[in-house]
Amino acid sequence: MSQFVDEAQLNVRGGDGGAGCVSFRREGPVAKGGPNGGDGGRGGDVWLVADHNVASLLAFRDHPHRRAGNGVHGKGKDMHGRGGDDEIVTVPEGTVVRDLYTGEVLAELWNHGDRWRSAAGGRGGRGNARFLTNQRRAPTFAEQGEHGEERWLKLELQLMADVALVGFPNVGKSTLISVISAAKPKIADYPFTTLEPNLGVVRLDEDTEFVVADIPGLIEGASDGKGLGHRFLRHVERARILCLLVDLAALDGTTSAEQERVLLEELASYRPELLARPRLVVGTKADLVVDVDQFGGDGDTRLVISAVTGDGVRRLVGAMAAAVHEARAQTAKREGVVLLRPAARGSLVERVGDHEFRVSGRDVERTVALNDVSTQEATAYISHRLDRLGVHKQLARAGATDGDVVWIGDFSFEYRE
């Protein structure tokens, strides 16, 4: 039996860039061969792509890690390494992506084909041929490959449904969806039979088809986390039509008006704008009630059904279809949302101790991380690059003196004026 999963954690990591190569030409006719080390290939990216063929987040429950391919190292004779393969991760339509630790929304993939780069691959290192200058005729160093980005994400799925069935436990939602669609939810005579949302497709003819979602039963206080409904209330946000089901034969004697009041209050507490959605109010289990005339009201379309005997079900489906058709005509396609953060420019110097400073900034950290700090020539190149980026002047203004420790990324250096 397939299993529905509406929340999952995902670890994504871009591929590492390949290292540049240190190589020199050695052809016979060439008296003094120059550098010919090639560049390393770029690491692959990890992309999240919405796909209408994916129904849940089940694939991430037992396998939460996704990693793109690494770039290939450069070689001699100016041969550059191949770039790493991208990793395409398909997710259901309606997936909201958050940072696992901050909860910040990073992307919303609503429609088929929406895509977001969740982890960028690392840049490939440059070979020594790229460092040839008039002053540096035989560079003996190359760049290392950059590590790919890595992050933990939280995926949340908001169901794509035209009609959401909302009601107390055991009001008959599962029975109704099993009658009007091919869905086969669990049905029993005890509360909270439905522990996960069920989707059913209702097809009337070639031109009329819509999706109905059976939302697990709400109880009073669900918007504050009581019962099971709070976990699934967000699925109601995606539905165009709300179908409130009230039990006409409630065993505890709760009236249909009282049930409706509680349901509307819980929806309003969760999202006040939900009350502006078109809605149907349906009295269920009419076969157990002698007098159904007491079920009535103003403003909403009100119907009485018995999912067991089938009374009123055809009329309800027609009302759903009409409401969905009207709502679709008035609803524009929802665009996907992707949070873009331009890479910060420049560098920042902070004092982190009595004689310690930390320099941060993408260009500065990349200069140190990509180069081999174990060779004198590479160290001289790093110092030159940092000077061009203004780091030396910033450290002097910050009060750095000879012997102070300067941290850049994972590396530390002893400061000299």
Long-range CB contacts (within 8 A, 24+) of 400-405: 400/357, 401/355, 403/355, 404/355, 404/356, 404/357, 405/353, 405/355, 405/356, 405/357
pLDDT in tens, 360-386: 888 888 888 887 777 788 888 888 888
- Percent with pLDDT over 90 in the chain: 22
3-state secondary structure of 247: strand
pLDDT above 80 for 18: yes
Domain ranges of the chain: 1-157, 163-330, 348-414
- CATH fold, domain 163-330, is Rossmann fold (3.40.50)
Domain 1-157 belongs in CATH node 2.70.210.12: yes
H helix intervals, 331-361: none
Element (H, E) at 359: strand 356-360
**pLDDT band at residue 80 using 50, 70 and 90 as cut-offs:** very high
The answer to whether the beta carbons of residues 42 and 123 sit under 8 Å apart is yes
pLDDT above 50 for 194: no
For the chain, give the number of residues. 417
Enter the DSSP assignment of 35. Answer: B
The answer to whether the beta carbons of residues 159 and 93 sit under 8 Å apart is no
Higher pLDDT, 82 or 293: 82
The rounded mean pLDDT for the chain is 81
* Amino acid symbol at 131: F
pLDDT in the model for residue 406: 86
Structural class in CATH, domain 348-414 = alpha beta
Do the domains at 1-157 and 348-414 have one common CATH topology? no
3-7, 29-33, 217-221, 278-282, range with greatest mean pLDDT: 278-282
Under 8 Å CB-to-CB from 94, ≥6 apart: which residues?
50, 109, 110, 157, 158, 159, 160, 238
Among the ranges given (15-24, 85-94, 231-240, 281-290), the one the predictor scored with the smallest mean pLDDT: 231-240
CB-CB neighbours of 328 under 10 Å: 11
- What's the rounded Cα separation, in Å, for the pair 356 and 75? 39
pLDDT in the model for residue 332: 62
Under 8 Å CB-to-CB from 117, ≥6 apart: which residues?
45, 46, 47
Among residues 163, 175, 182, 160, which one has the least CA distance to residue 319? 163
Mean pLDDT to the nearest integer, 265-284: 87
